Structure 1
Amino acid sequence: MRKSIAVVGMLGVTATAHAQSNVTLYGLIDTSLEYTNNQKGGTNYQMASGLESGSRWGMKGAEDLGGGLKAIFQLENGFSGTTGALGQNSRMFGRAAYVGLTSTTFGSFTAGRQNEPSADFVGPLVASNQWAGGIGAHPGDTDNLYVNSRISNSIKFLSLDYGGFRVGGLFSFGGTAGDFSNNRIWSVAAGYTHGPLSLAASYINTSRPNTALWDGTAGAAAISPNNTPIYSGYASARTLNVASVAANYTLGSARFGLAYSNSRFGDLGSSDASAPIARYRGATVVFDNAEANFSYQLTPALLLGVAYDYTRTRGAGDAHYNQVNLGGDYYLSKRTDVYLTTAYQTASGIDSTGKAAVAALWPVTASSNSHQIVAALGLRHRF
C-alpha cells in the first residue's frame, strides 16, 4: 500500500513538473557611476542602480490547457544592484505578481500587481524607455510613462493584434474595506503599428493617487524618490487623471518621436495626505508635457539619442521645466551593454510647494537652484 501511494505521488510530481515545464528564470542588473552638479546645493558622485533599466529578477511560465488556451504567471522582484535592498517599498515581488489566462482567440486576462496599459502602449515610444533611462523621465513622471508605479489588486486585459491595432484595459479595486472607490484605478489604452509608424494613446483615472500610485499614507506625503517638489505639494489631490499620446516613425537607421501628456490633479486638500498650502486648497493643477526625441543606430552595436522635453503647470502653481537628454548605448553582446546618459533641466516659476521652482531630475535629490545636470556611465547585463 505504501509503495502504491509512493508511486502515485511520484507520478503526480512528474505530471506537475511536466505541466510547469515552460518556466523561465530571468533577470537584469544595471549599475552606474553617476555625477550630479547640484544635490541640495552640493556636487555629488555616487553609484546608482537601475538608472537605465530597473535591476530585477523574476520567473514566468505558461501551461498549455488546450484549444489555444494557456495559464500564465509572472513574479518579478526589483532590487538595488549596489546594496541588494528590495525595491518598490521593500516588496518581495514589487515589479510584478500576477496570474492569468491567454488565448489565441481573445488575448490575455491577468490579475494581481502589474503595469497599467500605458506602459504597454505609450511608454515604449518615449525616450526614457528607449535609451535615456530614468533621468529622461518627464519632470516628476506625473504621467507614469517611465512606469515608476505598478498597480496592485488589478485585473488587466490585452487584446490580440488585429492588423496592427491592439487595445488594453485595467481596473484596480483599491483594497479599502467599506469604500469601493478609495484607491481605485482604471486605465484604457490603444496602439497601432504599420510598417515604420507606431501610434499609441492612453488614459488613467486614479482615486487618491498619493496612496494608490505612490505608496504614501494618509496624512503624509509620498515616499522617496517620489517626494519631488515638482508635485509633492499636490499629494493631497483626491484624483489624478492622465491622458497621453505618442508617435514614432522609423526611417532607415533613424527614429523620430513625439509625445504629449496631460496630468490633472483634482481637488487638492483631501484627507489622504498632508494639506496643501492654503491658496491651493480645493484647486486643480494641470501638467502639460511635450517631448520630441530622435535616435540613430550608427552601427549594429551603437545607438545614439537626443530628446527635448517641455513641461508647464497650470492652476495651483505656474512652474515651467525645460529638459534636454543625450545618450549613447553600446552593446558588447546581445545581453551586455555599456551606456552613457546625460540630462540637463532648468526650472522657473512657482512649484507645488509654493516656492521658487528648482530643477529635480528623477531619481536624484532636487537641486538647490533652477539648474541641474546629471551624467551616468553604466553597465547593464541581462540573464
Structure 2
Amino acid sequence: MNAPASTKTLVCRTAMGAILATGLAASGAAQAQSAATSSVTLYGIIDMFVQYGKGDGTQLAVQSGGVSGSRLGFKGSEDLGGGLKAQFQLEAGILTDTGAQANTSSFFSRQSWVGLSSDSWGSLSAGRQTIPQYDILDAFDTFGTGVGSSASSSIVSTTSRANNSVKYSSPKLGGFSGVALVGMGETAPTATNSGDNANVYALGGTYSNGPFSAGLALNMFKRGTNAQVDARYVLATASYDFGVAKLSGAVQKVRNLSGTDSVDRTEAMVGVNVPVTARNTVSAAVGQVTTSGQSSLNARQWTLGATHVLSKRTSFYGVLSHIGNGAATSYTTTAANGLGPITSAGKDVSSLQVGVRHAF
C-alpha cells in the first residue's frame, strides 16, 4: 500500500536535513582541524626613548628604537604532516617618533622570508634574513645590539641582514646547533660592499651546556667592484651565567673592512648583566676596536645601563654611554635604530638615553 504524499514529503525533507547537517558538521570539523594546524600571528614592538647627548654640541631628542627597533610583523606556520611545517615571516621597521618607515625603500625591511622546518632535520628558508654572525653577536652582546652596544655604534662590526638569501639551520644535537647562509647580491657591482648588494657566504654555530654557552661565526662579503677585495669576519663568543651575574664577551677579527684593502681590525667587547631583583637588572660593558697600523682609527666605548620590568610586555630602561674616539674616528652612541649625537672625527661623545619598550 502506497504512503500518502504528505508522508513522502516529510520523509524526504527529513533525509535532506540529515544529509545537510552531516555536511555542515564535516565542514566545521575540517575548519577546526585546519585552524588547529595553522596559525598567523600579528606582533610588534614600540620602543621610544629620550636622549640627552654631547658631541659637537649638546642635543636633546625623542627617538624610536633604543633597546629594540620598533616594528610591526606577521608570522605564521602550517602543519604539513609528518613533522613538517611551512613557515613565513614579514616584518617592517617603524620610526614611532614620526610614524614613518624605518627604511623608505623597503617596507618589510627587517624580515621577509618563507621556508620549511622539521624537528628532525632543521629548517630551510629563503628571502631577506638575518646573517648568522649578527644572530650570534646579538645573543652574546650584553646590550643585545641595542642602545649601549658597541655593535650598534659600529665599534664592533656587523651586518644584520642579507637580501636574496637561502638559510639552513640545523636542529640542536647534544647542545650544538649550526647555521649556513648564502646571499646573492643580484645587482650590478657598486662602490660599496654590504649585505644588500654583495654576495654573502656565512657559517655559524653555537654550543650550550648549563650555564656555559659559546658561539663561532665565519662571514665573507664578496667584493663589490674590481677595485675592492673580499671582506672577511671571524667571530668568537662565550658567556657564563653565575646566577648572581652573567658574564659575556666577544672577539672578532676583520680583514679588509667594507672591501677596503688592508683595513684590518681586532674588535672586542665584554660585559656583565646583574639581576639585582626579579624586576631590576644592572648592566655594564666595554668595547674597543684596534686597527692594524692605524692608531688614529682606534676607539673605545664604556656603557652602564639599568632595566626595570613592569610586566611581561613592558619595561623601562636607562643607559649612559661614552665613546673615546681616535683622531680619525667619529663613532657615536647609536641605538637599535635611534641615532646618537653628531660628532666630528677625533671628538669624544657621551649620551644618556631613557626609554620605554612595549611588545605586543
Same structural fold, with TM-score higher than 0.5 when normalized by the shorter chain: yes
Bin for the TM-score computed over the shorter chain: 0.7 to 0.9
Match among 177, 180, 191 for residue 169 of structure 1: 180
CA gap of 1:239–1:64, structure 2 versus 1, over 3 A, is: same
2:340 is matched with which residue?
A: 364
1:143 is matched with which residue?
A: 157
Match among 192, 197, 222 for residue 207 of structure 2: 192
1:227 is matched with which residue?
A: none
Matches for 1:302-313 after TM superposition, within 5 Å: 302-313=280-291
Aligned-pair CA distance for 1:266 = 6.0
Aligned-pair CA distance for 1:285 = 0.3
CA gap of 1:203–1:267, structure 2 versus 1, over 3 A, is: closer
- Aligned mates of 2:137, 2:148 — CA distance in 1: 18
CA contact (8 A) 2:134 2:160 kept: no
Question: Aligned-pair RMSD on alpha carbons?
Answer: 2.8
Check if 1:257 corresponds to 2:248: yes
Aligned-pair CA distance for 1:178 = 10
Q: 5+ unaligned residues in a row in structure 1: which ranges? A: 1-6, 210-217, 219-235, 270-282, 352-356
Check if 1:23 corresponds to 2:45: no
CA contact (8 A) 1:154 1:171 kept: yes
Aligned-pair CA distance for 1:169 = 0.5
CA gap of 1:141–1:14, structure 2 versus 1, over 3 A, is: farther
Among the aligned pairs, what percent are the same residue?
A: 31
> C-alpha offsets along residues 53-81 of structure 1, whole Å, 9 cap, x if unaligned?
00011111111111110000001111101
CA contact (8 A) 2:88 2:115 kept: yes
> C-alpha offsets along residues 178-211 of structure 1, whole Å, 9 cap, x if unaligned?
99xx7100100000000000100101101246xx
- Aligned mates of 1:88, 1:157 — CA distance in 2: 26
CA gap of 1:155–1:167, structure 2 versus 1, over 3 A, is: same
- Aligned mates of 2:228, 2:301 — CA distance in 1: 26
CA contact (8 A) 1:100 1:110 kept: yes
TM-score computed with the length of structure 1 as normaliser: 0.77
Secondary structure of 2:148's partner?
helix
- Aligned mates of 2:184, 2:112 — CA distance in 1: 16
Matches for 1:252-291 after TM superposition, within 5 Å: 252-265=243-256, 283-291=261-269
TM-score computed with the length of structure 2 as normaliser: 0.82
Matches for 1:1-383 after TM superposition, within 5 Å: 18=35, 21-38=38-55, 41-129=56-144, 133-138=146-151, 139-140=153-154, 143-144=157-158, 149-176=160-187, 183-208=198-223, 237-265=228-256, 283-315=261-293, 318-349=296-327, 351=328, 357-362=329-334, 363-368=339-344, 369-383=346-360
2:7 is matched with which residue?
A: none
Q: 5+ unaligned residues in a row in structure 2: which ranges? A: 1-22, 191-196
- Aligned mates of 1:167, 1:109 — CA distance in 2: 12
Secondary structure of 1:135's partner?
coil
CA contact (8 A) 2:148 2:321 kept: yes
Q: How many residues align?
A: 323
For 2:280, give the aligned amino acid: L
Aligned-pair CA distance for 1:268 = 5.7
